[in-house]
A and B are shown apart, each in its own frame.
Chain A
């Protein structure tokens, strides 16, 4: 059974700092990996999707990497801003012919202080 773990559970940084959020998963037979942002009481906004054959994806100040063999992904946020404060969720997707279901980590709650 796939297990996804995110470290740290919470992180507080001053504005402008570059930071790395970590995600690990136990079963490397994945279809893809998604990083989401969740604001309090809100839905899940997809930030980046990395296919299993890819090593990284970039969107603006965000860069996500994937090392499938070691079961790890990182989300790098450059020049953090107070508006980045949210919970960041990592989720791995099983092959779509095995149900295409996402298994989520517990999230990293990020606070960026002005």
Chain B
């Protein structure tokens, strides 16, 4: 069964360093997302991406964050200068919106745990 894959599974970084989290969405999906979950808190929406541009972003997704689809398969989240409060599990997701199925179901990866020291 097709799945969303994420790398790395865990990254430890020093405050102020740049981090890139990578995702390979399900191949025929057109909508991509990043969510995050700070330990013990709700899963929060960060950004959605469609047709090579951001379609929606939350207040959390400030200038320190960026997303990119550098090729036909990868979808990346970059944090330019990490802060302690960026420590969280980051989830990538994709959905079949616009493919003709349009169920709107989101499929999530296993997550990348980011620890900022």
Contact assessment for A96 and B43 in the assembled complex, using a CB-CB cutoff below 8 Å? no
Interface string of B73-110 (1 = CB under 8 A from A): 00000000000000001010001010000111111111
Interface residue A102 (Cβ < 8 Å from any Cβ of B) = yes
Contact assessment for A99 and B105 in the assembled complex, using a CB-CB cutoff below 8 Å? no
Known contacts A32-B103, A51-B103, A93-B104: A100-B95 contact under CB 8 Å: yes
Known contacts A51-B103, A106-B42: A99-B110 contact under CB 8 Å: no
Contact assessment for B106 and A46 in the assembled complex, using a CB-CB cutoff below 8 Å? yes
Least CB distance from A70 to B in Å reads 21
> When chains A and B are docked, how far (Å) is the Cα of A46 from the Cα of B55?
23
- Neighbouring B residues of A107 by C-beta, 8 Å: 42
> When chains A and B are docked, how far (Å) is the Cα of A100 from the Cα of B113?
24
Contact assessment for B105 and A32 in the assembled complex, using a CB-CB cutoff below 8 Å? yes
Least CB distance from A56 to B in Å reads 16
> When chains A and B are docked, how far (Å) is the Cα of A46 from the Cα of B105?
8
Size of B's binding interface in residues, CB under 8 A: 26
B57 to A, closest residue via Cβ: A99
Contact assessment for B42 and A101 in the assembled complex, using a CB-CB cutoff below 8 Å? no
Contact assessment for A99 and B43 in the assembled complex, using a CB-CB cutoff below 8 Å? no
Contact assessment for B43 and A100 in the assembled complex, using a CB-CB cutoff below 8 Å? no
- Neighbouring A residues of B48 by C-beta, 8 Å: 99-101
Known contacts A51-B103, A99-B48, A100-B48: A43-B109 contact under CB 8 Å: yes
Known contacts A96-B104, A99-B48: A44-B43 contact under CB 8 Å: yes
Least CB distance from A4 to B in Å reads 8
Interface residue B65 (Cβ < 8 Å from any Cβ of A) = no
Known contacts A91-B43, A96-B97, A99-B56: A34-B111 contact under CB 8 Å: no
Interchain Cβ contacts under 8 Å between A and B, 20 examples: A32-B103, A34-B105, A34-B106, A41-B113, A43-B109, A43-B110, A44-B43, A44-B91, A44-B108, A46-B105, A46-B106, A49-B105, A51-B104, A91-B43, A99-B55, A100-B56, A100-B95, A101-B33, A101-B45, A104-B42
**7 further interface pairs, Cβ-Cβ under 8 Å (given A43-B111, A99-B48, A100-B31):** A34-B106, A49-B103, A96-B97, A100-B56, A101-B33, A101-B58, A102-B106
